[in-house]
Structure 1
Amino acid sequence: MKYFEEAKVIWKKYVPKSGQAESVEGELLRAIEKLRYEAQNNGNGNWDNGFERFCTYLWEVLDDRDVFSYEVLQQIKKDFHTLRNYKKPYVKDDLYDRMTDRMIEWSFANKGPVLRENDPNQYR
């Protein structure tokens, strides 16, 4: 992971102990880590609409042509296809670390933290 220290700061400042984050960066990091934990520790056995919503949210934010090059967007898209294939859990760290780096780059480009509204349908 290229931006480990930056991610650590976001985790400490913007990811609450429970519930959704008030910032886009905090919620993106929370989603990435929930997806990582579910795959690595549960084999996606608890996969449901809450995890699908995390994937959708990540894609909606990171699919940003103003921030990322075509090549980077293709890698992001490939990673999402891998994540969404929940019947075949992705357990290596590289994909999740890469997504975290993209989230940090998105935050840099948007001069974050960027505030967000809670998703009333996200229960994870």
Structure 2
Amino acid sequence: MSNTISIDKLIEQEYEQQYFEECKFIWQNFVPKRGQARNLQGELLREIENIRCEAQDNGNVNWDDDFTCFCEFIKQSLIEQPIFSETEKEKICVIMNYLKECGVYAQRFNDGKISDNDVLPEKLAYTKDNLYDIICDFIGRLQNKHPEPIKYSINNSIKR
């Protein structure tokens, strides 16, 4: 994959979700009130929304290894899907790597590894909706092309 997609360009881009209804269906039917979903579509949406809420509501102050794991799982699961082009897979990687980078930076700051004097507040959490909505649309497209639940095995090491 070539590095033709820049996170800065993606951040600048206004984005309107196109698969909102599919995501709404997943949320209402596949995401449990507590714990992990029992299928891939539900778990992907649950995890990206957990990442979004942590960044937007808490500035990533609670970022931990579970959130880092979510970023890797979402990225890996989506790029394994044959319905997405190489360019789309690159976009998924760029976005998920960036969201993870913000969270890990916040975790380092919250653990005292970055001082108040050295912290770059804009790197702590990505709080706009566009990047999250792009990832949600990939999940919505997956649901659109693959409406039956895709098997997912619960990850017992995840607490969130």
Bucket of the pairwise TM-score, normalised by the shorter protein: over 0.9
Residue 56 of structure 1: CA displacement? 1.4
Aligned to 1:20: 36
Runs of 4+ in 1 over 6 A off after TM superposition: none
What percentage of residue pairs aligned between the two structures are identical?
39
Aligned to 1:45: 61
CA shift digits 1:18-37 (9 cap, x unpaired): 00001100000000100000
Q: Across the two proteins, how many residue pairs are aligned to each other?
A: 124
Matched, 1:101 2:101: no
Q: Distance in 2 between matches of 1:110 and 1:3?
A: 13
Q: Distance in 1 between matches of 2:150 and 2:74?
A: 14
TM-score by length of 1: 0.93
1:115 to 142, 151, 156: 151
Q: Distance in 1 between matches of 2:57 and 2:81?
A: 33
Any unmatched runs of 5+ in structure 2? 1-16, 106-122
Larger-Rg structure: 2
Residue 115 of structure 1: CA displacement? 2.1
Residue 105 of structure 1: CA displacement? 1.7
Moved more, 26-35 or 54-63: 54-63
Any unmatched runs of 5+ in structure 1? none
TM-score by length of 2: 0.73
Assess if the C-alpha contact under 8 Å between 1:21 and 1:27 holds in 2. yes
